Amino acid sequence: MTPRLPSNPGAKRVTKDPIAIIGTGFAGFGAGHRLEAAGSPYVVYDRNPYIGGHTWSHELPEGFVFDVGPHVSDTNDERIQQILAEEVGGRFEAAPFIMDNYWQGRIVTHPLQVNLHGLPTDLIVKILLDLVVVSEKFSDEPPPADYETWLRRSYGDTFAEMFPMIYGRKYHTTQMANLTTDWLGSRMYQPNLAQALRGALESAPVRHLHYSTHFRYPTEGGYAAYLASWAGRSDVRLEHEVVGIVPAARTLHFADGRSTEYGELISSIPLPDLIPLIDGADEEVLAAARRLAFSSVVLVNLGIDRPGIGGDTHIRYVYDAEIPFSRISFPHNMSPRVVPDGASSIQVEWYFSDKYKPLTASPESFVDPTVAQLREMGLLEADDRILVSETMFAKYANVIYDHERAEALATIQAYLNRVGIHSSGRYGEWTHYLTDESFISGERAAEAALGC
With CA atoms as reference, report the closest residue to 48 among 28, 64, 63: 28
Number of CB atoms found within 10 A of residue 367's CB: 18
The whole-number average pLDDT for the span 148-161 is: 95
Q: What is the pLDDT of residue 16?
A: 63
Q: Please determine, for residue 13, whether its predicted confidence score (pLDDT) is greater than 50.
A: no
Cis peptide bond upstream of 142, omega within 30: no
Q: What is the pTM of this model?
A: 0.93
| pLDDT tens-digit series, residues 267-289 | 999 999 999 999 999 999 999 99
Q: Please determine, for residue 213, whether its predicted confidence score (pLDDT) is greater than 90.
A: no
What is the CA angle 296-300-303, rounded to 5? 150
Exposure on the CB side of residue 5, measured as CA atoms within 13 A: 23
Alpha-helix runs per DSSP H in 219-365: 225-233, 271-274, 283-291
The whole-number average pLDDT for the span 312-317 is: 97
Q: In what order do the strands lie in the sheet with 315-318?
A: 106-109, 99-103, 315-318, 327-329, 344-352, 294-304, 386-399
| pLDDT tens-digit series, residues 15-60 | 467 999 999 999 999 999 999 999 999 999 999 999 999 999 999 9
The whole-number average pLDDT for the span 181-193 is: 84
Distances 285 to 129, 289, 290 between C-alpha atoms, Å: 48, 6, 9
Distances 214 to 207, 316, 399, 435 between C-alpha atoms, Å: 11, 16, 24, 14
Q: Please determine, for residue 160, whether its predicted confidence score (pLDDT) is greater than 90.
A: yes
- For the domain 19-56+224-292+404-450, what is the CATH code? 3.50.50.60
Number of CB atoms found within 10 A of residue 142's CB: 6
- Domain limits, the chain: 19-56+224-292+404-450, 111-201
Q: What is the pLDDT of residue 288?
A: 98
Looking at every residue in the chain, the average pLDDT score rounds to 93
In this structure, of 176-185, 230-239, 408-417, 420-429, the range with the lowest mean pLDDT score is 176-185
- What is the residue type of 143? P
| pLDDT tens-digit series, residues 336-384 | 999 999 999 999 999 999 999 999 999 999 999 999 999 999 999 999 9
Percent of the chain surpassing pLDDT 90: 88
Interatomic CA distance for residues 143 and 153, integer angstroms: 9
When comparing pLDDT for 129 and 6, which is higher? 129
| pLDDT tens-digit series, residues 76-94 | 999 999 999 999 999 999 9
CA dihedral 207, 211, 214, 217 (to 10 degrees): -140
* 251 contacts 259 by C-beta, under 8 angstroms: yes
